[in-house]
Chain A
Amino acid sequence: MATVRELSEPYSAFMRNPLPPGAPGVCEVCLRFTDGSFPTCYPCGHRARYADAVLPLSYTGYDGQLYHVLAQYKRQRNQTVARQLRLQLAAVLWRFLDTHERCLGRAAGAGSRFDIVTTVPSSDAVRDEMHPLRSIVGELAGPTRDRFQRLLTRSTLEAEKRDVVAEKFAPSAELSGASVLLIDDTWVSGGSVQSAAGALKVAGSGAVGVLVFGRLIDQAYEDQGERLAALPKQFDWEPARSHARPDCVAQPLGRVAAAVISWISVEHQPSSRAVSWSRWGRRSCS
């Protein structure tokens, strides 16, 4: 049997740690690179935001091995190869959540552990019946499989992919305040993830934390490609640096990020932003 560490290790070569939310030029919601004029990127600033916190494991361009894996684990026809990709993604998820579920939980206001884990359904109802993401989260990954529930299905509502409409998804249960960890493979504009988070709230959920494997960066758009290429080439799984949430100030880089953020929020931003920062607190991961 292969260990989580063995199977996740090779992904270190092509995963890219996200920058801290709201650091200069980083969207405070989805961590996309911005020009710094606003706290969020355009899509996050102009649509409903139902998720209480969003954490991508990695950035990815429309090219490169992570992007390819995130397409192939669903599309690959050879079952042996597909199975390997799913096991690897499950190992990555497992290793990451072991360390960082509490960070996302605190950021979302759910405490150190979410009550329920679920996934965002495919936009295609037929394809969703066989969605391999459910097998990764609901069967293969240790930290999630015992809490997994299939809570959402795609409704018949016609809506643009990028639009945030909670009614896109139909909840199957009454959640009576339970906190939910909502997992998807990629975040493009956040349209389906935020809609799914909205559907969970409609169903009565408590805090919703979103975890995605890849936050897509359109390398061809303005300086996005250069900024993606400038990130450190080796993924860091350690608490503070892996996602540099200001919660994780145990490590030097986390402290720097926290200092930068408090500087922005106190000195240079309207007071409403300072309030939103305080939510992140200054706690350690460990």
Chain B
Amino acid sequence: MTDLYETAALIALLRRGDRPWHQEAALVEEAGSAAAVLSGEHVGPSEASTPQLFGATDRAAVDLPAVEGEVRQWEAEGMQVVSVLDDEYPENLRAVFNRPPLLFIRGELIVRDVRSVAIVGTRRASKAGETRAGAIARHMTEAGFTVLSGLAAGIDTASHRGALTAGGRTIAVLGTGLRRSYPASNAELQEEIAAQCAVVSQFWPDQPPTKTTFPRRNVTMSGLSLATVVVEASHTSGARMQARLALEHGRPVVLLDSLVEQHAWASSYAKRPGTYVISEPDEISGLIERLAFAEALSA
């Protein structure tokens, strides 16, 4: 259950900006209460020895009822506000260290979405790349997975569309707030995904796209997914960054052999532990099934 008072306290804490957001998430989760962190009653492990970080006067003036009003307003607009303190917070995401403390959701996340896989790649995709992305999305849908992507042009769009066409679930993880659409040409797709599945954002609803929002979004997308599949991406692509983040999360990264043949970054990533190179879409589901739902270990 979402606790409105705690959600408001968390929002006030994030706005105050004492620490990086993922550290706030860790602290709030550890305390089991955002209000306790906001009041200074609970501090971080390495802050215990330096408690005078913020003066008592700074802590005072937070109008929590007003913040509660804002949350109600967002909810009236059809946005669900989920914090790390809520049971509804996605469990895959909870298992990564730099998870966002707060998520805004249009549509609905369901229990089955724990079986999520991110399919990512370049905005300027080739026809062949888009076809591959669509085929992988279809295959993952048939294997009972939810397809995550970033709602960008190119590979992202092909992945979302592939899952929708196959009658599966797809989730868009935005690099903007939920009130925005980027690119504008995908506003309709965003609506469609929100109506059928879920659109997720870790940003305030009016947040415009910036240089830092997309990398932060990639952290969230990797965290929500059991694995990240990179279809087609140059070395400057955000997809490459997501591959790196997924490895830092200890989540498998799947690279298409066509990508590895074309790009030096991908062939160097292919040698890193935790990276798998595949040639056929239907190899992916078995691999992820084995790694993410292992029952036991063998030497």
Residues of A within 8 A of B (CB): 1-4, 6-7, 9-14, 62-65, 67-69, 71-72, 76-78, 80-81, 84-85, 87-88, 90-91, 94, 98, 140-142, 218-221
Task: Pick 22 A–B contacts, CB within 8 A, sort by A.
Answer: A1-B294, A1-B296, A2-B291, A3-B297, A4-B299, A7-B297, A9-B273, A10-B252, A10-B273, A13-B272, A13-B274, A62-B44, A62-B45, A63-B22, A63-B26, A68-B96, A68-B97, A81-B92, A84-B293, A140-B296, A140-B297, A142-B297
Q: Do the beta carbons of B46 and A218 come within 8 Å of each other?
A: yes
A60 to B293, CA, bound (A): 26
Task: Report which residue of A11, A77, A78 has the largest number of chain B beta carbons within 10 angstroms of its beta carbon.
Answer: A78
Within 8 A of A (CB), among B220-266: 247-252
B185 proximal to A (CB < 8 A): no
B290 proximal to A (CB < 8 A): yes
The number of inter-chain residue pairs (CB within 8 angstroms) is 105
> Which residues of chain A are near B46, meaning CB under 8 Å?
62, 218-221
A126 → B minimal CB distance (Å): 17
Q: Do the beta carbons of A84 and B292 come within 8 Å of each other?
A: yes
> Which residues of chain A are near B248, meaning CB under 8 Å?
13-14, 65
Using A10-B250, A14-B248 as known contacts, list a sample of 11 further A-B pairs with CB atoms less than 8 Å apart, ordered by residue number in A: A2-B298, A3-B299, A6-B290, A10-B252, A65-B248, A68-B95, A71-B30, A78-B114, A84-B294, A87-B296, A218-B45
B54 → A minimal CB distance (Å): 15
> Which residues of chain B are near A2, meaning CB under 8 Å?
290-291, 294, 297-298
Known: A14-B250, A88-B250, A218-B46. A64 touches B97 (CB 8 A): yes
B23 proximal to A (CB < 8 A): yes
| Nearest CB in chain A to that of B50: its residue | A220
A9 to B299, CA, bound (A): 13
A90 to B298, CA, bound (A): 11
